[in-house]
Amino acid sequence: MSKPDTSPVETTSSGRKKIISTAGGSITMYAMAIMIITTILSLRGLPSEAKYGVQSIFYYLFAAICFLLPFSLVCAELASTWTKSGGLYRWISEAFGPRWGWTAMYFEWQMVIIWFPTVLMFGSASLAYVFWPETFDQSLASNKVYTFVIAMIVFWGATFNAFRGQRSANKLSTMGGLFGTIIPGALLIILGIIYVCMGKHNNLPEIPFIPDFSNAGTIVLAASIFLFYAGMETQAVHINDMKNPSRDFPRAVFLSIGVIVLLYAIGTLVIGVIIPTDNINLLQSLLVAYKGLWSSLGLDWLGNVTAVLILFGVIGQISVLVTGPSTGLMAVAQSGYLPRRLQYVNKNGINKPILYVAGIFVTLLCLLLIILPTVESAYQIMSQMATIIYLFLVLIIYASFIRLRRTQPHKKRGFRIPGGLFGVIITCAVGIIGAVLALILSFLPPSQITTGSPAVYVTILVVGVAIFVAIPLVVYALRKPSWRNPNAHFYPFDWQIEGRRPDQVSKWAVGYQPSEQEVEDAETTAISCHGQGKC
């Protein structure tokens, strides 16, 4: 059960209550950097980049410069300008209307649903490495039936536990982040340094720092780095809580990028030092690396203990993400984008119908284990599909930013991309080109792992993505006035208040603030518009 809102309120002349913000200046530059780091940093994907050896550092830097940095700046400007409730939904609806705002929210939810099987497979592998001996660990982690059964037990167990409320899940997630990510991450780096200092054998191949781009199949795995850096759109909403966002947010972004790239690079290289490139497995190599590191110190059993910590981290991560995306989706769906029977919330504030829908999606996706040749190939295709959906969302955000710069040029912005128009052009050009390049690569089968028939691999990706992209558009087209929750109040968009279309240029002067009556009239008009199916 969520905590009650204790923010101070004031009553307007029309009798409405308005929350007074008291958080201004509460987040420092260092605090924002930590928030970004903890949101983005994860150990699970390191083995996929370890296949590239020292070239992985190039890819980490490339993705940071061409994706994380420009995307962070764009999200910061959007979040600091359109501060009313809705976040991502409001940004995109302000630019293109509710159809695409709803679609973007659905993409964010769907991306997490597709991501679930990958982390569940990784959790199954972690559980396998809790046991002895090592040969048993590897064979068990590669078994399709074992992986599917454990994945279903963990996911549905977390789902049923979530029905009890979010508070316990949040506590489990916090503990899981500490003991399942931060501590194992620090251990990986420290043990790696000790391993190298001891003069142990180094398995990193001698290859150039700059990759060979002539063979697209060899760089497909690098596209998944874009998903490593996902999550900036969730942290950018806190920019208005910074005292001097124009100065401190870019600094926080640069600091966090430096730390994230450094930790990812070191962790990846440690795995490459321990395990020969040809033997790296996307699911098991992180756990094998820990075993090798502890064995070099004569403490083999601590490899199994580390596997327990990582498994705990996976459970904590799943427990909070089971409900998180669904909560955001339902906040928007109450405006009339899903049937009322799917909007039911139990006494603990949890939307059970949507969690069941998510569970069906996850179960069906996990069944790909039966179709694809190996657990590793199923893991890879789920990662690629989640990356593709996320990159579609990223491109929609860029398009919204560009349109809002044109339609609302005089809107007061708490943060602006540095460098004026030139800075905007460079930021958007670099970000969009990087996202499109990663999107194209994500449809290709990687040459480093066995994925079965390339035709089957690509077909699954294309058909799956087509279905997931079509679902929100079909739902929007079929929506009915009865789907709208009469108790849901959503602050109208600027174009609704002004009485214009989203693609028309705003006539508001710099710093204009609509009156309470204008807002109320716009809200009434929006409700009527939706009731007629015209919004």
Q: Quick: pLDDT tens for 373-425.
A: 788 788 888 888 989 999 999 999 999 999 999 999 888 888 889 899 999 99
* Radius of gyration in angstroms for the set of CA atoms belonging to the chain, rounded to a whole number: 24
pLDDT at site 107: 93
pTM of the model: 0.82
pLDDT at site 511: 67
pLDDT at site 231: 76
pLDDT at site 486: 78
Report domain extents, the chain.
9-25+43-81+89-448+456-490, 491-535
pLDDT at site 389: 93
b/e burial code for range 3-42 (CB count within 10 A of at least 16 → b): eeeeeeeeeeeeeeeeeeeeeeeebebeebbbbbbebbbb
Between the CA of residue 486 and those of 5, 87, 341, 525, 526, what are the distances in Å?
21, 21, 14, 14, 13
Pairing of strands 9-11, 17-19: antiparallel
What is the C-alpha to C-alpha distance for residues 225 and 493, in angstroms, rounded to an integer? 34
Between the CA of residue 418 and those of 103, 234, 236, 247, what are the distances in Å?
30, 21, 16, 10
For residue 64, what is the DSSP state?
I
Distance of CA 135 to the CA centre of its chain: 34
Q: Is the dihedral of CA 28, 245, 78, 14 positive or negative?
A: positive
**pLDDT digit string (tens) for 445-472?**
877 666 667 888 888 889 999 999 999 9
> Is residue 11 predicted with pLDDT exceeding 50?
no
**pLDDT digit string (tens) for 150-189?**
889 988 988 888 887 766 666 666 677 777 777 888 888 8
pLDDT at site 30: 84
Contacts of 349 (CB under 8 A, 6+ apart): 1, 2, 165, 166
**pLDDT digit string (tens) for 306-364?**
888 888 888 877 877 777 677 778 778 878 888 888 888 888 778 888 889 889 999 98
What is the C-alpha to C-alpha distance for residues 15 and 18, in angstroms, rounded to an integer? 10
Pair of tokens at residue 28: 């420092």
List, in sequence order, every residue forming a beta bridge with 495; answer none if it has no partner.
Answer: none
The mean pLDDT of 228-253, rounded to a whole number, is 76
pLDDT at site 96: 94
Mean pLDDT, the chain, integer: 80
- H-helix or E-strand spanning residue 11: strand 9-11
Residue 274's nearest CA partner among 260, 261, 287 is: 287
pLDDT at site 400: 96
> Is residue 51 predicted with pLDDT exceeding 50?
yes
- Give the residue with greater pLDDT, 221 vs 78: 78
Contacts of 61 (CB under 8 A, 6+ apart): 261
Pair of tokens at residue 403: 């349109």
Determine contact, residues 248/32, Cβ cutoff 8 Å: yes
> Is residue 270 predicted with pLDDT exceeding 80?
yes
63 falls in which pLDDT band (50, 70, 90)?
confident
9-25+43-81+89-448+456-490 topology per CATH: Amino acid/polyamine transporter I (1.20.1740)
Backbone angles phi, psi at 142, to 5 degrees: -90, -5
